[in-house]
Structure 1
Amino acid sequence: MKTADAIVIGGGIVGAATGYYLARQGLKVVLLEAEYLCAGSTGRCIGGVRQQFGTTTTIRVAMESVRLFSTMEEELGTRVEWYQGGYLFLAHSESRKSEYLKVIRLQKEVGLDVDFISPDRVRNIVPPLNLEGVLGAAYCSSDGQANPFLVVKAYADHIRALRGEVVLRTPVTQLKTSDSRVKSAVTLNGEEYTAPIIVNATGPYARNLGNMVNLELNCLPERHEALVTERSEPLFDPMIVDYRPDGCYFIQVKDTGQFIGCYTPDPRVDGTRIDNSIEFIKEMPRRMLRLIPSLKEVKVLRQWAGSYTMTPDGSPIVGPTPLEGFYVAVGMSGHGFMLGPALGRLLAEWIVSGKPSIPLDEFSFGREFKTGETLK
C-alpha cells in the first residue's frame, strides 16, 4: 500500500495541472494514468485557447488560463509553443451578429478586450479569407494556441520534481470508501494508493470512475474528428471559427505552419470510439476551402478522432462532491485544454484552502443543469 496527500486520476491537461498546483501547495501528489500522458481528449485536441465564452464564470476562468499560459514557459522552464494569434468568430447572418454583440457586452463587463470588427478589419487580419456573406466577426487578439503534449509533459515533470509520482499505464479499477469519505484507489495490478483527497479528472471516462463510488456524473463522451495538413507558408494568425451548420474551425500552427481543425458532427456521435470516417476527410477540406480558397494545393497529412465530454449546459463540473474528499474536474465539453490550467490552479486552491479565488458555483456538481450556451 502506498500513501499520498492527494491522488489525481487522469493524465490529461486537467489532471496534470491539478496535480502540479497541489504539489506546489506542498502536497505529496500521485497522478495515476491508465495509459500515457495525453492519451485521452487532450492529446486529440487542436490546441486552441480562447476567452470568448458566454457565461461570466467561464470567461473569468478562461482569462486566468490565458494569464497562466502567458507565463508558463518562464514558470515551467520549457517551451510550450504558446502564441497569442487571436480567435475570429465569423458572422454570416444578422442573427449571428446580434448574438455576438450581446455576448461581447458581457465579455467586456468581465474585463475581456474583445470587439466586433468590420469585414475590412477581418480582411486585414486574415487577407486570404473569403468574405462573401461575412458581416463582421467577434475578435479577441489575446486568445491563442499551445502544444498540448508539451504543456502536459511540463506539468508532469514538475509534479515529479515536487516529490510527487506520475504513474502511467495503471488503470484504476476500484475506489474504496469508509464512513462517507473516499479512502483509496486500487489499480489493475492490485496496487492500492491511499489518500484523503482523490480527484477524478478522467475526461471521457469520468462517469465510470464516478460509478465506482455511486456518484452519477451528468456528462457523456462524444466523438469528434480532426485533421492536420502539411506545412505551409504563414497565411494568418487567429483561429477561424465558422458556426454555420456546415462550418468549421481551424488554425495555422505558428511553430510548424500546419493547418489543424475540426467541425462539430451533426448528428452528434456518442461514445469513446476513435475510428476515422471517410465523410470527415471529404467534408472538412471542402469547408476549409470555402473559407480560404488558396489552401487548395495544401495536402492533408492525417486525421484522427477523440472525445468531447459533454454536459447538458456546456459548462464543466468542478469541485467537491457529496463523498468527502472526492473531487471532480470533468465534463469540459470540448474546452478542457483552454480551461485546464486555470481549473487546475483553482481546484487545488479549493482543496487546500477551502475556497477558490474565482467562485465556481456555476460549475458545481449539484447544480441544476440547463441546456445551451452562447459561444459554445
Structure 2
Amino acid sequence: MSAILQAGGRVTGVRLASGEEIHAPVVVNVAGPGSHIVNAMAGVLDDMTIRTRPLRQEVVHVPSPPGFDFETDGTIVSDSDIACYVRPEHGNHILIGSEDPDCDPHHWVEDDLHYNRDFTEQWTTQAMRYAQRVPTLGIPSRMRGVVDLYDASTDWIPIYDRSALEGFYMACGTSGNQFKNAPIAGKLMTALIGYCEGGADHDTRPLRFTLPYLGREIDAGFYSRRRKVNTESSFSVLG
C-alpha cells in the first residue's frame, strides 16, 4: 500500500504500490508492526496520545529434555522471576519467550521491513534463564526459533478506536499479547464501526460493548487512542 485516499475529511480507500486503487467508505488499520506508518499516511497522528512502533523480539526453540514429551505433556508457564514464558512447540520442542525485564534493552526499529533477522546473545540468555528451572535442558549450538516484531503501543495496551479521519479506524498496538483476543477484537471493531458510522461520538461517549458469551459490558474507551498512559500496565508482553 502506498497511500490512504481521502476527500472532504473522510477516508475513501487505499492506493496499492501497483497503482491500483480500492475504494471503500471504511478502512481499518490492522497493519501490525507497520501500523505507525499507515497512521502517518492517513495523517491521524496529531490527536493520538498513544502511538505504536515496532519492537524486535527473539523467541527460542530448544529440544525437550531427554525422556520427557514436552509437546504432549508440557504446559504454558509464565515465570516472572526469570522473566520468561514457555509453551510446547511442535517437534517436541520448548518455545521460550521473554517477558521484557528492565535489564534487557528494548530494540526498537524504524519500520517493519528493515531490521536484523539474525539471532543474537539474547537467544542464549533466554535459553539459559529457562535452564535455571530445568537443569537437564540442553542448549544446542544451532540456534532455532523466531526473530520478528511486536506492534507495541506506548503503554503496551492495544488501540481499538476510530481516528481523526472519518471512516478510518485502528486495531493496532497489540504489543505481543492480543493474539488470543483476535476473535473478540473483531466483534468489538464491528460494533465500534457501526456505532461511529451511525452518528455516535465515541470520543465523548465511548461505546459500551457487551461480551457475547459472558454478558459482561466493557467500556471501549479503555482502548482509546487519546487515553492517558495506563500506569498500571506491566509495560511488557504481559499487557
Say whether the fold is shared (TM-score over 0.5): yes
Equivalent residue, structure 1, for 2:146: 304
Q: Does 1:363 align with 2:192?
A: no
In 2, Cα distance between equivalents of 1:189 and 1:334 = 31
Question: Structure 2 residue aligned with 1:277, among 93, 96, 119?
Answer: 119
Q: Does 1:193 align with 2:22?
A: yes
Equivalent residue, structure 2, for 1:248: 84
Cα RMSD for the two superposed structures: 2.4
Taking a change above 3 Å as real, the CA distance of residues 372 and 268 of structure 1, as seen in their structure-2 partners, is: farther
Q: Which runs of 4 or more aligned residues in structure 1 lie more than 4 Å from their structure 2 counterparts after TM superposition? A: 297-301
Letter in 1 for 2:96: G
Equivalent residue, structure 1, for 2:201: none
Structure 1 position 196, deviation (Å) = 0.5
In structure 2, stretches of 5+ residues that fail to align are 197-206, 211-217
Q: Does 1:225 align with 2:58?
A: yes
Aligned positions of 1:227-376 closer than 5 A: 227-230=60-63, 233-235=68-70, 236-244=73-81, 246-253=82-89, 256-263=91-98, 264=100, 266-271=104-109, 272=112, 273-296=115-138, 302-354=144-196, 355=207, 356-357=209-210, 358-374=218-234, 375-376=238-239
Taking a change above 3 Å as real, the CA distance of residues 274 and 345 of structure 1, as seen in their structure-2 partners, is: farther
Q: Contact between 1:221 and 1:270, CA under 8 Å: does it hold in 2? A: yes
Equivalent residue, structure 2, for 1:178: 7
TM superposition score normalised by structure 2: 0.75
Structure 1 position 304, deviation (Å) = 2.7
Q: Contact between 1:276 and 1:304, CA under 8 Å: does it hold in 2? A: no
In 2, Cα distance between equivalents of 1:297 and 1:329 = 38
In 1, Cα distance between equivalents of 2:180 and 2:140 = 28
Q: Contact between 1:230 and 1:301, CA under 8 Å: does it hold in 2? A: no
Structure 1 position 280, deviation (Å) = 2.0
Taking a change above 3 Å as real, the CA distance of residues 337 and 270 of structure 1, as seen in their structure-2 partners, is: same
Structure 1 position 274, deviation (Å) = 4.1
